[in-house]
Amino acid sequence: MKHIQKIDGIIDELLVQLGEMVKRLSHPDVTRSRDERAALARSVRQFSVCAATSKDPRVLSLADDLEQSIKPRLRLVASRN
């Protein structure tokens, strides 16, 4: 049982590292083109699938942050009427 917990901890650490990498890629200055945004969305979905079974709060928080990062950015447009 200790081996399973140790492996689970190692996987969580890897997920945290992977999530941080994907989070850096989610910055608007990095993902500018449509293809880059599509690749980011695929990476976020893949990360979310892996993170879904984790109990580590860092992994779950990263998954939430990444999901928010791929939502369309809304711009406020003011009308001059």
**Is residue 48 assigned to a domain?**
yes
pLDDT tens for each residue of 28-71: 899 889 999 999 999 999 999 999 999 999 999 999 999 999 98
**Is residue 62 assigned to a domain?**
yes
**Is residue 45 assigned to a domain?**
yes
| pLDDT of amino acid 43 | 96
Choice between 75 and 47, residue whose per-residue pLDDT is larger: 47
Q: Residue with structure tokens 């880059």?
A: 36
Domain count, the chain: 1
**Is residue 80 assigned to a domain?**
no
Whether residue 4 is predicted with pLDDT greater than 90 in this model: the reply is: yes
Q: Residue with structure tokens 């809304």?
A: 74
> Residue 26 carries which side chain, given as an amino acid letter?
S
For 74, phi and psi rounded to 5 degrees?
A: -95, 140
**Is residue 81 assigned to a domain?**
no
Residue ranges making up the domain that contains 28: 2-69
**Is residue 59 assigned to a domain?**
yes
Contact 22, 40 (CB under 8 A): yes
Average pLDDT over residues 7-29: 95
| pLDDT of amino acid 28 | 86
